[in-house]
Structure 1
Amino acid sequence: MQEEFRDNYIRIGLKISYYRKTKGYTQEELAAKLEVATSFIGQIEAPNILKPISLDTLFRIAKALEIEPYKFLVFD
């Protein structure tokens, strides 16, 4: 994975965390909805861990949080 996208993956993780909290879900609850390990969600959201995710995963997270996927990719 190229380092040039590091900041974008970190931003995506932070946005996932933001929208998860807005919906009132814990990491455990989101992980259960996605049928993944809680540690996987923790790695995605952690600002000090670079955890690339696939578009399929991004779409699944967006669906679970009931938001449009593009919202994770808008960097203000």
Structure 2
Amino acid sequence: MKRMGAKIVYYRKLQGVTQSQLAEKVSISPSYMSKIERGASVQGVPFTMYLKIAKELGVTLDDLLKG
């Protein structure tokens, strides 16, 4: 999950979006987004949240999963 978090960071920065902005767009707190990006909050993150994040970043879930 750390790899997926790194991909989220990569695509977020590529688009010039801050962590807080992305968190707001997917309706979560910035601290929760930070945990997702660090891979620290693996358990308890619904699959649908990763889908929402991917959609907001304009990528597919597959893009986030690929190494």
TM-score when normalising by structure 2: 0.88
- Indicate the SS of the match to 2:7: helix
- From 30, 35, 46, the equivalent of 1:43 is 35
Q: Counterpart of 1:5?
A: none
Equivalent of 2:20, from 25, 28, 48?
28
What amino acid sits opposite 2:59 in the alignment?
Answer: I
| Unaligned ranges ≥5, structure 2 | none
Q: TM-score, normalised on structure 1?
A: 0.79
Aligned length: 65
Question: Which structure carries more relative contact order (alpha carbon 8 Å, separation 6+)?
Answer: 2
Which 4+ runs in 1 deviate beyond 6 A? none
Structure showing greater radius of gyration is 1
Q: 1:3-18 residue pairs with structure 2 within 5 A?
A: 9-18=1-10
* Superimposed CA distance per residue, residues 28-76 of structure 1 (whole angstroms, 9 cap, x where no aligned partner): 1001101110001111112xx522132201100011111111011111x
% identical aligned pairs: 34
Q: Which residue, out of 38, 56, 66, partners 2:58?
A: 66
